[in-house]
Amino acid sequence: MSEMSPMLVDDLISDDYFDRVRSKFPQLDEEEFRTQLTEVLKYLYLTAQLGRQPFYPCNQLDLVWHELILQTQDYSLLCSRLPGGKFVHHASVMPSDGATPGHGSDASSREITFYAAYVMTFGGFKDSSIELWPRADVLRSCWNLAGAPDLNKRLKEILER
């Protein structure tokens, strides 16, 4: 299903919605913004598919998510196009909530499940986008893997068990 990745932006949001959110990030070039937006859409897609938020994305992606949410009608329509068609809510998180990466008894298993679904749904991480997923990069490092392709392979192996 790696075909879905490039289509996410075009399939899930209108040109007008894209332009309004894009205007809030003048410091990013077009490619950087499109990459961040695509990764936010992947996060929302998988959160909807898995039925709960396994953790919150990094700050860069969270800022894009905030801008998406501010366009309430467009965001509602976007959510209706995600698996299950349900609204993906956003809430502030405190480190004591257990929903942040690395906290709570099952945080690691939730993250691994999410990242494995990411690999299976979108064809895997790229070395250029893994920096937007710092906890995935921590897994890569903890598992002594050389780069994103090795992480993708390991996550596929975990799913096959």
Q: What is the pLDDT of residues 55-103, one digit of tens each?
A: 888 999 999 999 999 999 999 999 999 988 999 999 876 555 544 444 4
What is the pLDDT, as a whole number, of residue 95?
53
pTM: 0.86
Domain ranges of the chain: 4-160
**For residues 109 and 70, which has the higher predicted lDDT (pLDDT)?**
70
What is the per-residue DSSP string for 83-108? GGG---------GGGS-STT-STTHH
